[in-house]
Amino acid sequence: MPVHLYWGEDAYRRGQAVEQLRAAAVEPAWEAFNFGRYAGEALIDALNQAASAPFGGGGRLVWVEEARIFSHCPEGELAELARTLPHLHPNGHLLFTLQGKPDGRLKSTKLVAKVGEVREFSLIPPWQEAKLKAQVQQMAQERKVTLSAPALQLLTEAVGNDTRRLDNELEKLALFAQGRSVDAEAVGALVATTAHTSFQLAAALLAGEAATALRVLDELLRRNEPALRIQAVLVNQFRTWLWVRVLIEAGERDAQAIAAAAEIANPGRVYFLQKEVERTSAERLGRVLPILLGLEVALKSGRPERAALESAVLHIVNALR
């Protein structure tokens, strides 16, 4: 299939897919002639190259990054796209990549989806623990790393949805294990599990301990923990606490049912989560997620990280009173 559209915020997995396609389509000896990389504004130039036959051996790959035709498609570019796609060389590949979701209402998006391959590389939301664990397990299998159940849990908590870091950590674990099973002790020794400190931050917030929360936050920032990673852990934890508390107040007592509804991979955690939220209410916990959403917007808008995080910490403590 000579037309490809790869989209999604997981730049690492998306980049891996691009390299796999490049390796499959283009012979290294002829790469200088048969591989072209274009910015989204240079679509016409890219289409002209994509329509030409490969030079020498192998195929041709033309890669267009952040193509604007999937968010706003001028008629001229749409016409050129429609004219070119039926005439791509059988050994040629035209690849579009973008971080955001393509607008499915546009004719350009519909055209590419009709004749080509569309692959999504979205980040798994940090609160979907079961999917995160499945992703860690899958990538571990690809690296031929066998993880014990506690090791899988610890590694998932440490890396979250950061697939680049996950791949790097699995490479370290593979070198360490040399074919042996990896236990939680090995993960704790080799992987920087700063996510645990982020969970300590969440616990301090839940307890209303502003001073402790600010101290833990300061430690995280001094260790260069990414601000959005801290925010993601807090979203995950408070969402889980909210679900558990809502179900408790609704009269649900079955741990399996609570685990399924709250997307908790290990039902054994439910008992401890119930204890953690027994002194608060769903109404109070429900005030926290909008604050964390506002924190995400602030961080992505370029607000200074420390100021945004400290402000959110104080607002959360007040909201839980």
Q: Are residues 113 and 170 in the same domain?
A: no
Q: Is the pLDDT of residue 266 over 90?
A: no
Q: Are residues 226 and 245 in the same domain?
A: yes
Q: Is the pLDDT of residue 78 over 80?
A: yes
> What's residue 229's pLDDT?
87
Overall average pLDDT of the 116-134 stretch: 88
- Rounded to the nearest 10 degrees, what angle do helices 305-319 and 194-206 cross at? 40
Query: How many domains is the chain built from?
Result: 3
Q: Are residues 112 and 140 in the same domain?
A: no
| Amino acid making up residue 268 | G
Q: Are residues 109 and 147 in the same domain?
A: no
For 29-38, the pLDDT digits (tens) are 999 999 999 9
> What's residue 157's pLDDT?
84
Which residues are registered as beta bridge partners of 60? 92
* Band (158; pLDDT cuts 50, 70, 90): confident
CA pair distance 240, 23, nearest whole angstrom:
42
> What's residue 194's pLDDT?
64
Q: Are residues 144 and 202 in the same domain?
A: no
CA pair distance 189, 191, nearest whole angstrom:
6
If DSSP states are collapsed to H, E and C, what string results for 149-166?
HHHHHHHHHHHCCCHHHH
Place of tokens 């059988």: 90
Overall average pLDDT of the 109-122 stretch: 94
Locate the DSSP E strands across the chain.
3-7, 35-39, 60-65, 92-98, 117-120
> What's residue 174's pLDDT?
94
CA pair distance 191, 270, nearest whole angstrom:
26
Assign residue 142 the CATH number of its domain.
1.10.8.60
Place of tokens 């796609």: 85
